[in-house]
Amino acid sequence: MSELVLDYREYDKPRQYGFGTKLFFLYLLNVADWFCTQTLIDTGRFQEANPLMAAIMEYPIAGFFIKCVLPLALSIFIWLFYKIFKLEQNKFTNFIIYSGVVIYTAVIVVHIVNFVVLYTTM
């Protein structure tokens, strides 16, 4: 019977996500941004706000490579670098990742608003 008793102190601690999980979530937000941006551009009623990316997004394959393939390779490289050299997460890396998550979340919210505007004005 004592084996079934749960230690509730374990549940009081905040969940700590691993470095790879954080990088993967940031990457998924990046891909969502690319997909939403490309979809909105394809409607012909929206354009890319970043002038440098606007030139790249004119070519869907180039946009896919720059926004999806390259960041995936970079994320894997950074994750492997941390694993190989047994680096620990620190406040700076967490700040950078969480800042990226906040920024991409804001961008996704703007995309959602644009989709709402697009489909309510059709």
Query: Rounded CA gap, 35 and 27, in Å?
Result: 12
pLDDT of the residue at 122: 72
In a domain, 53, yes or no: yes
Domain count, the chain: 1
pLDDT surpassing 90 at residue 2: no
How much of the chain exceeds pLDDT 90, in percent? 80
What single DSSP character describes residue 87? Answer: P
In a domain, 6, yes or no: no
Give this prediction's pTM: 0.84
Tens-digit pLDDT profile for residues 30-50: 999 999 999 999 999 999 999
Q: Tell me the residue range of the domain where 41 lies.
A: 17-120
In a domain, 80, yes or no: yes
Radius of gyration of the chain (CA): 19
In a domain, 2, yes or no: no
Nearest Cα to Cα of residue 105 among 36, 20, 59:
36
- Tokens in use for 90? 């620190």
What is each CA distance from 69 to 72, 83, 93, in whole angstroms?
Answer: 5, 21, 22
Residue 64 DSSP SS3: helix
In a domain, 10, yes or no: no
pLDDT surpassing 90 at residue 10: no
- Tokens in use for 83? 């694993």
In a domain, 8, yes or no: no
